[in-house]
Amino acid sequence: MAKSFERKFFGTDGVRDLANTGNMTPEMALKLGRAFVKFSGAKKIIIGRDTRKSCRMLEGALFSGMSSEGAEVLLTGIIPTPGVSWAIKNYNAGGGAVISASHNPAEYNGIKFLGSDGCKLSDEDEFKIEQIILNDDQNDTHSPNQIGDVKDVPDAINNYARHLASLLKFKFGKIAFDCANGAASVIVPKLLEFTGLNGKIISSKFDGLNINANAGVMHMENLTEYVRKNNMTLGFAFDGDADRVLVSDAKGRIIDGDIILWVLARWLRAKNYSGSSQTAVTVMSNMALESHLMNEGIKTLRCPVGDRYVLDAMRSSGAALGGEQSGHIIVRDFTSTGDGICTAMLFLNAIHELNEDINTLIDRFGRYAQKLTNLKLTRPRDEVDMNTINSIAEKYQADLKNSGRVFIRTSGTEPLLRILVEAQDPEKVNSLSQILEEQLLKLC
């Protein structure tokens, strides 16, 4: 990430804060809306949102800013982030915005922008939007007849669901879908209707305050217990804006993004998709994935955390597939951003055509022991002494040599320092994690 594009408001996934405070007030949403239109020049913009109580408040301010700059705004209502990406291309829009804080609790919210290609903006583009906000001339207004229209497009949800349904080529046993009381809640019922899947939906009764609450990818025990108790074939869990997916096998064990990538990479390779000889993953992916892909003749490309950085790596390399351990998966011929429900449909196709035994995937994957420790930051992120922290990490990385790794970074969405330790020896992972936590706590 170029230092010249370090941003004040934007993080790893858009602008995010506690709703109605800091960078997530109606005033800020209006400024972001104005700045996005000035930056992009878009004449038509799609806005979608998740199920948070604060979404309608921010939506009104956001489209007011966009409309005041002359853009026509199409409101989809509640829809997954990838649904906005799909709508941009299918409604001939010049860009889009999603009001969501993804996996964060209901008291948070966020705004992220997508370009005319349906992809998330680059650091440089977000930096330019910030400069417009910081230098905005409030007197630079348009006449009344230049105000852009604001319209509802309720058919977007049905059309997006039909698109997802068209991806599924095979029927399966009983499948559970945990919608995290989020945006997937409005899509999955339609998906089951259009595909005829024997599916059971849980955590879909949203009330504005229960998104991600004891459900979805952040609380996999909700899905795994349901799958196990109800003898389901497998289950899918999403996050609040449904751009992530994790899987439960029939035994109630978690199949994470690394294993999903392992399956999809082999499937794309078997189908001879263009770019299937390479897969982009983040620095958080388990070393076992890299080993498995190497055995399949598939090169692993490492990139920073964030599905837009995954997409950057895919674009520069021509890779057909990329994703994160956390469940953001991008399959180039199908999506422009992480799409949890699309990934679920492709995963079902892949396990059928590869004749996979879902219940042995975890055993065969044989992941390296891995521990992620989160330390709360007591100072602003830009005041954390990362040079000293990186020096400490390098020291212990040298001790591990090629049998493991140490990776430390600040979170782009929360005030946390994340410490990842990975090695084949679980005892080494635990002891080293404890040592690092003790040494780094005073630097946070």
Output the CA–CA distances (angstroms, integers) from residue 224 to 132, 217, 249, 250, in the order listed. 46, 11, 8, 8
| Distance separating alpha carbons of residues 29 and 63, to the nearest angstrom | 9
Q: Could you tell me if 361 and 254 are in contact, meaning their C-beta atoms sit under 8 angstroms apart?
A: no
Whole-angstrom distance, CA of residue 373 vs CA of residue 234: 29
Which among 436, 429, 431 has a CA at the least distance from the CA of 390?
Answer: 436
For residues 63 and 153, give the distance between their C-alpha atoms in angstroms, rounded to a whole number.
14
Task: Give residue 44's identity as a one-letter amino acid code.
Answer: K
Alpha-carbon dihedral 424, 425, 431, 434, rounded to 10 degrees: 30
Collapsing DSSP to helix, strand or coil, 172 comes out as: coil
Distance CA 49, CA 56 (A): 8
The Cα–Cα gap between 338 and 257 comes to: 11
Task: Report the alpha-carbon distance of residue 35 to residue 98 in Å, rounded.
Answer: 15
Joined tokens for residue 116: 């005319």
3-class state of residue 438 by DSSP: helix
Burial classification of residue 182, based on how many CB atoms lie within 10 Å of its CB (0-12 exposed, 13-18 middle, 19 or more buried): buried
Q: Which two three-digit tokens encode residue 435?
A: 């040592």
Residue 347 identity (one-letter amino acid) = F
Q: How many CB atoms lie within 10 A of CB 64?
A: 18
What order do you get walking across the sheet with 278-282 strand by strand? 299-303, 278-282, 321-323, 329-331
Phi, psi of 186 (to 5 degrees): -95, -15
CA 399 – CA 429 distance, rounded (Å): 12
- Is 204 a known active-site residue? no
Catalytic residue selected from 40, 100, 102, 185: 102
Chain centroid to Cα 428, Å, comes to: 31
> Quick one: which of 148, 151, 144, 197 has its CA closest to 175?
197
Output the CA angle 185-191-194, nearest 5 degrees. Answer: 150
Active site residues: 102
